């Protein structure tokens, strides 16, 4: 996959329309986590250093029309603070007043538009709306990987009307994710967790094409255990996916891909933070218990698989890590990943949250900024926001 990147263009004196992902948590009018804002700064600084003025676009939350609660105002304030440079918040997204504000921009100026999702035309990828956004600049840059799987006006539509380039963040995501689908270094180990087979089966099937070992944890593991004839107690299972799980295991065997499932479990009586914890040294779970986390023997198997891995991708926790009693498996996998000498990629909201919770992000080769986008990328789907940036 070859992208047109911002290194391929002379931005001096140009007005750039740039899509970023500033959909950040805000509480009482204050940004509580500015990770996504900071992730866009290398691209923004590069454009400013190369003589551009910027019209910055992002969504925030899921507004139903215009809403003061979902204004970009607190985000503009944090963006200005992180950038260390004046950021003007536009009066709206479209309209004569915004056009005036755009036209008044000089080299080095930054105008942050209001929440693009204030207008339903954004998510509808309305051509006229996209054309209006495109009219604000000479060139378009997309650095919002988190929304690259959406064909919206600001993520895909604008690219039809302006020269379009990938920012550093999208370039980095593609640099680390694409080889996992195309030509990974071996041994390649895939760790997939989370609660449901239904939400991860496409990733599992896609990864079968290039990986050597697949480790399955989290609630989804019990559907696989059930089809192998094991007792799973009150654990989460998806009977509608029994045949899918059976077919997947058959495909893995046929391709020579090793599948590791939990061999011991930490269980509870109910899905509750304060449920008493019971260790089951084996696969069979009693009828009155439910699996909540992997046990130490499974952790040891995972560590052994990661020891000499050259490529690893992790998507989805090993257990209910948000409950302190059942965070062990996910934390140990995160630590093993951090110690791995190969290229390590973590994608998906919960896995990223776990890496951050255990303060290990700086020991991972690449932590993806896009939950749904990284999942769809690993499924081998074409992401509209990225397809629009590919070299023709």
Active site residues: 36, 196, 349, 372
Residue 290 CB contacts under 8 Å (≥ 6 apart), including other chains: 233, 234, 235, 236, 267, 268, 269, 270, 271
User: What DSSP element (H or E) covers 305?
Assistant: helix 296-307
Q: How far is CA 85 from CA 17, 79, 109, 211, in A?
A: 18, 9, 9, 45
CA dist., res. 330 & res. 193, Å (int): 9
**Strand-by-strand arrangement of the 343-346 sheet:** 258-260, 213-216, 188-192, 311-315, 343-346, 366-367
Please answer whether residues 169 and 146 qualify as being in contact, where contact means their C-beta atoms are separated by less than 8 angstroms.
no
Query: What is the C-alpha R_g of the chain?
Result: 23
Q: Are 351 and 315 in contact (CB under 8 A)?
A: yes
E runs forming strands in the chain:
15-19, 26-27, 30-31, 53-57, 88-89, 110-112, 139-142, 164-166, 188-192, 213-216, 258-260, 265-268, 278-280, 290-294, 311-315, 343-346, 366-367
Question: Which tokens go with 106?
Answer: 């000089």
Given 3-state DSSP classes, what are the helix, strand and coil percentages for the chain, each rounded to the nearest 5?
45, 15, 40
Q: What is the dihedral of CA 153, 6, 61, 76, to 10 degrees?
A: -120
- Distances in Å between the alpha carbon of 355 and those of 181, 187, 352? 23, 23, 5
User: Strand pairing of 139-142 and 110-112?
Assistant: unpaired
The DSSP secondary structure of 306-359, one letter per residue, reads HHT-SEEEEES-SS-TTSGGG-HHHHHHHHHHHH-SSEEEE-SHHHHHHHHHTT
**Separation of alpha carbons 227 and 217, rounded Å:** 15
**Nearest partner of 344 among 289, 295, 307, judged by Cα:** 307
């Amino acid at each position: 996959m070859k992208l047109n990147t911002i290194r391929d263009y002379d931005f001096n004196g140009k007005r750039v329309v740039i899509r970023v992902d500033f959909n950040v948590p805000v509480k009482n009018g204050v940004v509580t986590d500015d990770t996504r804002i900071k992730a866009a700064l290398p691209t923004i600084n590069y454009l400013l250093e190369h003589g551009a003025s910027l019209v910055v676009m992002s969504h925030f939350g899921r507004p139903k029309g215009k809403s003061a609660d979902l204004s970009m105002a607190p985000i503009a304030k944090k963006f200005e603070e992180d950038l260390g440079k004046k950021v003007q918040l536009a009066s709206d997204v479209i309209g004569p007043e915004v056009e005036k504000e755009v036209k008044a921009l000089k080299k080095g100026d930054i105008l942050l538009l209001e929440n693009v999702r204030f207008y339903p035309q954004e998510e509808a990828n309305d051509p006229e709306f996209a054309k209006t956004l495109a009219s604000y600049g000479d060139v378009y840059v997309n650095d919002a990987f988190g929304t690259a799987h959406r064909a919206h006006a600001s993520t895909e539509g604008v690219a039809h009307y302006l020269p379009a380039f990938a920012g550093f963040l999208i370039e980095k995501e593609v640099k680390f994710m694409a080889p996992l689908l195309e030509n990974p270094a071996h041994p390649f180990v895939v760790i997939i967790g989370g609660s449901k087979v239904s939400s991860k089966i496409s990733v599992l099937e896609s990864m079968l094409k290039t990986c050597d070992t697949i480790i399955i944890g989290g609630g989804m593991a019990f559907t696989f255990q059930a089809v192998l004839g094991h007792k799973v107690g009150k654990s989460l299972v998806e009977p509608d996916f029994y045949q899918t799980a059976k077919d997947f295991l058959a495909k893995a065997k046929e391709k020579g891909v090793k599948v590791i499932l939990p061999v011991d479990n930490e269980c509870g009586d109910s899905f509750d933070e304060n449920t008493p914890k019971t260790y089951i040294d084996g696969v069979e779970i009693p009828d009155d218990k439910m699996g909540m986390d992997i046990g130490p023997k499974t952790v040891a198997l995972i560590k052994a698989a990661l020891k000499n891995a050259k490529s690893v991708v992790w998507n989805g926790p090993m257990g209910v890590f948000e409950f302190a009693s059942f965070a062990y498996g996910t934390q140990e996998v995160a630590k093993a990943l951090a110690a791995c000498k190969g290229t390590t990629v973590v994608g998906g909201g919960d896995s990223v949250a776990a890496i951050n919770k255990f303060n290990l992000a700086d020991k991972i080769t690449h932590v993806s900024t896009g939950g749904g986008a990284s999942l769809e990328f690993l499924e081998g789907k074409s992401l509209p926001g990225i397809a629009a940036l590919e070299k023709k």
